[in-house]
Structure formats: structure tokens, C-alpha cells
Structure 1
Amino acid sequence: MTSFTLDPSPESKSVGKCLLFNWVEERATAELDNTKPRGDIHKNGHTGILTMDLSSRVQGITTVDAAFPPPKGHGVRQRGIRGELLENSLLRKISEQTHAEFNPEPPKTEYCSTTSEDYKVKGFHPVLPSPLKERDYRKDQAITFWSENHQHIQGVTAVKTRDTPFKKNATFSTPISQHMDDQPLL
């Protein structure tokens, strides 16, 4: 039969608990476990398991990069300068053509609105009408919101004339008998 037995004996048993059938690795590191405290082993690992040269540094290359290096050139120019320039110019022209073919410029936007379509006629030039009578802006009363809407204001005395809507008015203090005499009968 085999020389290994599955029954645990005190000599082969490790200090810590191990997984089932993991006792081979436990036996391989049993003598290393006794040299350092257990916390240092868990923190730094065992020395001498991965490499025998403890002063060596970690290499900055993986096994895949070491096994499959990229192909190296001959060190001699394979094509002439003129050929490379010709190829680059053709490549640039073809890429510009394909770019223009697949990405055409957007059409020019036509801005049209209801005002321009319905109210503006080509060839029409608006002319301001001449005023019917001369106005003197220094003497005429200004047109404001309140001068136009003074009839709709609530709580204000009646306005008799348009040229003096907000001047002093004594109608509210005039006796009714005198006030009625001033107004013509209908």
C-alpha cells in the first residue's frame, strides 16, 4: 500500500487546523512554522518557499511577456522614404473621402416663422403715415395707464374733463341742492 496514512498521529499533526487532504503542505512547512511567531508567518509568509535566493528582487515581467516577446525589426529600413510619404498621403486622402462620404455636412437650416411667412411680403417697404395735426409734447398731457383707465378706478370722484382728470374736485363737499342746480335736466 502507500506509505502515507490518513489517521492523524501526534507527530504528523500540525499546530493549526488544516483542510482535508491539505496535510501534505502542512507537513512541508511544519519545521518552518516553529521558527517564527504565528502572527509573523501569517503576515509575511514563509521565507524560502518561493525562491532560494532571498536577496533577489522581483522582476517586472510576467511569464507570458517573457515567453511571447513582440517581434523585433531587422534594424534596416524595409521601404524608402518616398514610398512611406506616398502611402501616408494616399491614406490621408482616402480617409478624408470616406469621412466626407459617411459624415456629410448637415444641410443649411432654413429659419421660417409664422410672422415671416404670413405677414412679411417681399418688396413691401412700410411707410409711416404723416400726422394729422401737430402735437406739442411739452404742452399736451401725457398718456399713461391711469389717464386712459380713470373711469374704471373705484373710490375716485367723477372726472368731468379729459384734460384735468386728477385735479382738485370739491363735488363731494358741495351741498346737494347746489349740486343739483348746476346739472342740466335730462
Structure 2
Amino acid sequence: MGILTVDMTSKIHGISTVKAAFTTPTGPGVRHKGLRAELLEKCLIKTISEQIQAELNSELTAQELCSVTRADYTAEGFKSVRSAPSTNCDYKTDQAITFWRENYQKVQGVTGVGSPDGPFKKNTTFSTPISERLGNPMDFTHEN
């Protein structure tokens, strides 16, 4: 009130300028489907919805509530016993057994391995000068 008119007693109409300028599009007024196809579609929707409602409202039997594990894999008299570990392993400190750890000697392009128990640990062979390497069997000093 008061924005478009100065008259404060005027009633607000249920139409805006957008609604007044644009109308909703109307269809062509011609059928897109034939009467038979429309009736067939309605019949199929009705029968399928009835089937779904019947499945949802049916009572579950005791056999349907049994899990697959209980029905198929549980044998009478079976007792689960854990076997003793074959080796003493500590998952926090031991190296993981992987393909690369087992086959690092066969892979081309792998740098020198410092210790066989950790082949992929930090290796300072490239940054250590030859004269400072420990346990190097070769003597790299040249005498003329």
C-alpha cells in the first residue's frame, strides 16, 4: 500500500504486474495419446500399485526373518576355535608383507638397499660422500 497508489483505502488485488503481463502457456487442445492407450496405462498403474501394496502389507513368516548366515552356514555342533599364531608378529613395528618388499631384488632401477629388513626406508647413499661411507669394501682413492 502506498507504493503504487496514494489511496490508503484501496484494496490489494491478487494480481501482480508479472502475472498481468505473462499468462501460463496452454496446451494445443489435442490428445497426445489415444483413449485406448490412456485406459491401458491407468489399468497397469492400478494393478502394479495393488501388487506393491500387497507386498508391503503382507505378514512376514518366521522363515523370512532368518538370516542367510544362520540358514545356510551354521552347522549343528560347530564350535569356532582360534588357531595359535604361527609366528610372533607385531603389527605396529613389523614391516608389511607386500609384493614390492618381497621382490625388491628383481625390480630394475631400485637404489642400493641398506638393510634387507627395511628395503624402502630412508637411504642416504646418494648424498653421502664416498670417503665417508662406512663398510664400503671398495677403495675409491686413485693413485697415479
What TM-score do you get using the length of structure 2 for normalisation?
0.31
> Structure with the greater relative contact order (CA < 8 A, sep ≥ 6): 1 or 2?
2
Higher helix fraction: Structure 1 or Structure 2? 1
In our comparison, the structure showing a higher alpha carbon Rg is: 1
What TM-score do you get using the length of structure 1 for normalisation?
0.25
